[in-house]
Amino acid sequence: MIPNIPEKTGIQENRGHTLTDDFITRTYVLPLLTDPESKARLVAEHKNNPIGVPGKAGKAAVGHSEDLIRVIDKLRRQPMPGKYVRVCVNPHEGYCIGIVSGVRGQPVEILRDETYPSEDACEHAIFVRRVANLLAAYGFD
């Protein structure tokens, strides 16, 4: 410890949120993603409807299952640095995945190794990457 510089408090380190989020992840999200059958079902559901379909012309909206909502909500709570985003590189026909720096004013790093033909395809690819990263962060393959 350096003299005259106090250690950060739990509030400054946001420990309350971090520990609560970790508990929610371990209790409610990881069981859905570590079970092969459940994971395959959620990935297939997301692929068929990555963004959700709003209701229109008297038809009901098509949302996500409670399990998929739980997983997506977890993925949305990730910090901005390193977060994947959809980047339109060719209007209405070419999308790439970008990585946010988390610093205002710095450009998004665009991963040009794969281009997706639609917003939905790109959103699904992002979902698959986020799930893989989450599982790796908790020691799962």
Q: What is the mean pLDDT of residues 76-101?
A: 93
In a domain, 57, yes or no: no
In a domain, 8, yes or no: no
Check whether 10 has a pLDDT greater than 90: no
- CA dist 49 and 42 (Å) reads 11
Backbone angles phi, psi at 14, to 5 degrees: 60, 35
Check whether 91 has a pLDDT greater than 60: yes
| Structural domain of 19 | 15-51+62-137
Check whether 100 has a pLDDT greater than 60: yes
Residue 1: which pLDDT band, with cuts at 50, 70 and 90?
A: low
In a domain, 4, yes or no: no
Check whether 107 has a pLDDT greater than 80: yes
The pLDDT, as a whole number, for residue 2 is 58
In a domain, 24, yes or no: yes
Mean pLDDT across the chain: 90
**Count: domains in the chain:** 1
Q: What is the mean pLDDT of residues 64-74?
A: 94
The pLDDT, as a whole number, for residue 3 is 63
In a domain, 9, yes or no: no
| Sign (positive or negative) of CA dihedral 68, 73, 74, 75 | positive
Check whether 118 has a pLDDT greater than 90: yes
In a domain, 10, yes or no: no
Q: What is the mean pLDDT of residues 66-80?
A: 93
In a domain, 68, yes or no: yes
Q: What is the pTM of this model?
A: 0.85
